[in-house]
Structure 1
Amino acid sequence: MPKPVRDAWFAAGVFAAVAVVVGLVDPTRPGRFPRCPFRALTGLDCPGCGSLRALHQLVHGNVPAAADYNLLLVVLLPCAVVVWLRVVTGRTSRRVLPPWWPRVVLVVVVLWTVVRNLPVFGGVLGA
Structure 2
Amino acid sequence: MTDKNKIFKRKKVKSAGILIIAVLTFSVLYFFNNSELQSALIFYPLCLFNTVTGLYCPGCGGLRSFHYFFHGDFWLSLRYNLLLIPVLMLTAYYLFSEFIFLFFSKKLPKFQFPVWLIITIFIVVIFYWIIRNLPGYPFCYLRP
TM-score by length of 1: 0.68
SS where residue 44 of structure 2 aligns?
coil
Q: Distance in 2 between matches of 1:23 and 1:41?
A: 33
Aligned to 2:129: 113
Q: Verify the 8 A CA contact 1:19 1:56 in the aligned structure 2.
A: no
Q: Which of the two has higher C-alpha Rg?
A: 2
Q: 5+ residue gaps in structure 1?
A: none
SS where residue 71 of structure 1 aligns?
coil
What's the RMSD between the two structures over aligned residues? 3.6
- Displacement, 1:124? 9.2
Q: Verify the 8 A CA contact 1:51 1:69 in the aligned structure 2.
A: yes
Q: How does 1:9-88 map to 2 (within 5 A)?
A: 10=18, 14=22, 17-18=25-26, 20-21=28-29, 24-25=32-33, 26=36, 29-88=40-99
- Displacement, 1:30? 3.1
- Displacement, 1:47? 0.9
- Displacement, 1:71? 1.2
Identical counterparts, % of pairs? 27
Q: 5+ residue gaps in structure 2?
A: 1-7, 101-106
Q: Verify the 8 A CA contact 1:117 1:123 in the aligned structure 2.
A: no
Count of residue pairs the alignment pairs up: 123
TM-score by length of 2: 0.62
Q: Distance in 1 between matches of 2:95 and 2:127?
A: 25
